Structure 1
Amino acid sequence: MTAPGLHLHGDLWLETAPLIRNLALDFPAGRWSCLLGSSGVGKSTLGRLIAGLPGPFRLQGACRSSDGVSLRGQVAMMAQDGQLLPWASVLHNVTIGARLRGDKPDTARARALLAELGLVGMAHRRPGTLSGGQRQRVALARTLIEDCPVVVLDEPFSALDAATRLAMQDLAARMLATRTVVLITHDPLEAVRLADRAWLLSSGGAEALDLPATAPPPRSYCDDATLAMQARLLARLQGMQAA
């Protein structure tokens, strides 16, 4: 599978109000790109737009793939709330994409993904019987099984405890190593660990961030350069909220 890069420019609007002006984003092919910013700035809206989902938003500009092929059917998105079907089993939730397309679900691969995500023995449970972190891992498995060249992850690890979050970040980085990934997060450390390229969003546009060049992602959470960049980003985000 060859994943395309993405090029996005223009103004993002929510109904009749501008959310982010003067966007100019280049998401490199086969790499992780991260969008940071304060709550409500439009990160999730931008993710939904890239994924081609409907909503009261529009881009006055363009979002194109580097190979010129339409993004329709090429993007998998893990939404912030997981959007699991409460009446369906974990296994059915993971394989819902194939079922909706009328394809035979690959239950063996689904079970293998659940095992890698630490969910052995939970295939027949309902989402309501799982913890928040477990539900989030089910949603991640549902995203990974789609094998799309472009993946949008909206706060994919936010409900996990610290140790599990690090492990799932490393797992996702390995499993999506050849995909073009757009990661939306509030966590500066997550952004610094996982991103090849990152931007800080505000209503006025997107500021490119200088990530540590000491190591490729996923970077060590205890590396001095990683921790220093995390601190600088956190200070920037606190300043934006106070403004």
Structure 2
Amino acid sequence: MTESVIKIAGLYKIFGPNPKKVLPMIAEGLSKDEILVKTGHTVGLKDINLEIKKGEIFVIMGLSGSGKSTLIRHFNRLIDPTEGQIVVDDTDIMEFGVEQLQEFRRHKMSMVFQRFGLFPHKKVIDNVAYGLEVQHIDKAKRLQKASDWIETVGLKGYEEQYPSQLSGGQQQRVGLARALCTDAEILLMDEAFSALDPLIRSEMQDQLIELQETLHKTIIFITHDLDEALRLGDRIAILKDGELVQQGTPDEILLEPADAYVEAFVKDVNRARALTVETVMQRPAMRITSATIEGALAQMKKSSHDYGYHVTKDGFQGIITEKELESAVSLDTSGEIQSDIYEDVPTISPESAIEDVLTDTISSDYSLPVVDSEGNLKGSLQKESVAEIFSDKPNLDDEKEEDKEKETNS
């Protein structure tokens, strides 16, 4: 089981001159708006509990005012909570003094800002090397390391340019290189791509995914864009008015929204594009493991299925029908199974988007075999499972009303 790097427990943040007096009101059930009217205090975060695993991209999303940027600033204590625990690598960072906190920010966590946060008077290479300069790394070493990261993010040749000479996408690449240059284990990205044009934004998402495949950083990514969250996140937490309303994998968020608020978020998402084959595939109904015609037919006869997936020590071989096996036996062509007996059915990857295999799924007479890069049969994709993705599920508010009505009538 992957270890948790960050643990947040019972986290509250109330903005105002006397936040402690507001906590009992929250416990009594008063809403954010009611507390604002009564006290002039703003509830920024309410009882946040979550764990972030080592090496994952954890996305925190919500609309403006939901508390997502407030939350991410608690991870490195740019904001201190009114109440609650923040544990990083089994250390309660609320116990840090000023010097410990400075060291923690310099070495443990780096941050990429929405508006780039670059020094306009410093060249690209000096901006990227800045974190190492603060760490008092030798100039030659820090410039060499900065140069390497500049190349990694695709800006080789721009070392001597100033931020004003770069496009928005290039400036954000500089910001990303600067954050990575310190070798911090945890990367905080607050709406890092939201100021970019859609095409550049997509390119930056691609680059982050590509970098993560080799770096395996722990990344906390803030966004208000669900498509971005689904594309980047290993897991997603959704905030509303300072409360955590749901957290889970992208598939769980899409297919099992916790309430009407989340349901409204996901209703317009192209599920066929967002979900992968692995999400909805089933176990193969019938595996044929015999190497001979007679053995395969005997296996088939013992089941209720009229076709099966032939698997040997070398992996998946093809789909065989009972009809073809019986034909082979009647023609006295028994013996080892040959490739010409297999049905002409394409294999699909578990990582493929449903959208990419939709035509093959619909046009096939069989559930498509899902085969990984090593040739192993991982499952089968059924038409019925794909159809469920597009079916409209009952509105959660409607379900609650029905339940109330049943209770009233009972």
TM-score range, shorter chain: 0.7 to 0.9
For 1:1-243, what aligned pairs fall within 5 Å after superposition?
5-9=5-9, 10-15=11-16, 16=19, 17-53=42-78, 55=79, 57-68=80-91, 70=93, 72=104, 73-104=107-138, 105-176=141-212, 177-206=215-244, 207-212=246-251, 214=276, 224=355
1:234 aligned partner: none
Aligned residue pairs total 223
Shift of 1:221: 10
Give the secondary-structure state (helix, strand or coil) at the position aligned to 2:155: coil
* Residues 102 and 118 (structure 1), Cα distance of their counterparts in 2 relative to 1, 3 Å cut: same
2:317 aligned partner: none
Equivalent pair of 2:132/2:181 in contact (CA under 8 Å): no
* Residues 30 and 140 (structure 1), Cα distance of their counterparts in 2 relative to 1, 3 Å cut: same
* Residues 160 and 112 (structure 1), Cα distance of their counterparts in 2 relative to 1, 3 Å cut: farther
Equivalent pair of 1:153/1:183 in contact (CA under 8 Å): yes
Shift of 1:139: 0.6
Amino acid aligned to 2:53: P
Equivalent pair of 2:56/2:219 in contact (CA under 8 Å): yes
* Residues 94 and 215 (structure 1), Cα distance of their counterparts in 2 relative to 1, 3 Å cut: farther
Pick which of 113-122 and 19-28 moved more: 113-122
What's the Cα RMSD here? 3.1
Shift of 1:115: 2.5
Write the distance in 2 (CA, Å) between the matches of 1:161 and 1:198: 23
Write the distance in 1 (CA, Å) between the matches of 2:182 and 2:74: 19
Give the secondary-structure state (helix, strand or coil) at the position aligned to 1:113: helix
Amino acid aligned to 1:58: P
Shift of 1:94: 0.4
Amino acid aligned to 1:123: E
Give the secondary-structure state (helix, strand or coil) at the position aligned to 2:81: strand
Deviations 1:27-55 (A, max 9, x none): 112111100011122211211211232x4
Deviations 1:79-138 (A, max 9, x none): 222211111111100000111221124323322322332323211111122222221111
Shift of 1:22: 1.6
Give the secondary-structure state (helix, strand or coil) at the position aligned to 1:121: coil
> What stretches of structure 2 of length at least 5 have no aligned partner?
20-41, 94-100, 252-274, 279-350, 357-388, 390-410
TM-score by length of 1: 0.79
2:359 aligned partner: none
Equivalent pair of 1:193/1:221 in contact (CA under 8 Å): no
Amino acid aligned to 2:73: R
Equivalent pair of 1:3/1:180 in contact (CA under 8 Å): no
Shift of 1:165: 2.7
Write the distance in 2 (CA, Å) between the matches of 1:182 and 1:143: 13
Equivalent pair of 2:276/2:354 in contact (CA under 8 Å): no
Equivalent pair of 2:86/2:92 in contact (CA under 8 Å): no
Instruction: Give the structure with the larger helix fraction.
Output: 2
Amino acid aligned to 2:186: V
Equivalent pair of 1:109/1:145 in contact (CA under 8 Å): yes
Write the distance in 2 (CA, Å) between the matches of 1:43 and 1:160: 19
* Residues 214 and 86 (structure 1), Cα distance of their counterparts in 2 relative to 1, 3 Å cut: same
Write the distance in 2 (CA, Å) between the matches of 1:118 and 1:185: 24
> What stretches of structure 1 of length at least 5 have no aligned partner?
230-243
